[in-house]
Amino acid sequence: MKPRVMSLVLFTCMVGLIISPTNITLSNSIISLLAVAMGSGAAGALNMWYESDLDALMSRTCLRPIPTGRVKKNQALYFGIILSILSTTILYQSSNLLSSALLAFTIGFYFFIYTIWLKRKTPQNIVIGGAAGALPPVIGWTIATGQISIEPIILFLIIFFWTPSHFWALSLYKAGDYKIAKIPMLPIIAGSKKTKLNILVYSFLMFPVVIAPYFFDFASFFYLTASLIMTTYYVYLCYRLFIEGNSKSSNIIARKIFVYSIFYLFFIFLTLLFDNLIKANS
């Protein structure tokens, strides 16, 4: 079920739910978030079922349950299908049709569009496929409000523009794995220099989106200041990677970007959450 991935999915969904202008009961919130967690786990299970042959080839994924024989392929498939049905059904019962439909779309997009179609076909797999990972805060918002507005769209765009630099940094220092598995990640197809340029470009594209909550009046100057500091450092790391010519040093910086990007996204959403809680209690 990819619990580490699920934790970030669940957190961004929770932030979308809490900062929305509509309050729902605690029980409905908990049930709805559990349904989203199940949906995220379903997508992870289906992904690992389909990609078990690739997972067995790569050092990063060779210890997953199917390659190691702890889970049989058909078990993972049935588990993923059952979880998909349960999660969307439970979310419909605890919230509304829109949230349930968005969760179903997210699972389907991640599995059919990203995993089956894009992953092995194009180096833009992460860019297009990133839409699936960017939808949880939108789902959280719709759980509470039953509608989509500019605020969840901005939350979606933050994750969407964050995703390429996050994953391409990983693909730089894990390029050998992707080459063995014949996955057309950008460093394999276009080379490290172009990958570094794309990482830098997406870090710049992310900048105005990250500070947008302040200008659309659902975050305060506190959030603006914190997000500016964190994003400036993110761009600085991406720039350092771009100008670094030594491959060993590049891999060190790429790993640093990958690790920082995880904490970065978490703290951006945590800051937004605290900012809104402070505003609500003031």
Q: What is the pLDDT of residues 118-128, one digit of tens each?
A: 999 999 999 99
Residues 233-255 have pLDDT tens digits of 999 999 999 999 888 999 999 99
Q: Does residue 230 have a pLDDT over 80?
A: yes
Contact indicator for 12, 269 with CB cutoff of 8 Å: yes
Q: How confident is the model at residue 64 (pLDDT cuts 50, 70, 90)?
A: very high
Indicate the helix (H) or strand (E) that contains 189. helix 186-190
Paired tokens of 145: 């409000």
Q: Could you count the other beta carbons within 10 Å of the beta carbon of residue 193?
A: 12
**Angle made by CA atoms 232, 233, 237, in degrees to the nearest 5:** 120
Mean pLDDT across the chain, nearest whole number? 95
Note the pLDDT of residue 246.
84
3 state DSSP class of 12? helix
123 φ/ψ angles, rounded to the nearest 5 degrees:
-70, -10
Q: Does residue 85 have a pLDDT over 90?
A: yes
Helix runs in 51-191, H state only: 52-55, 73-94, 97-108, 125-134, 136-145, 150-173, 175-181, 186-190
Give me the mean pLDDT over the 250-278 stretch: 96
Residues 136-153 have pLDDT tens digits of 999 999 999 999 999 999
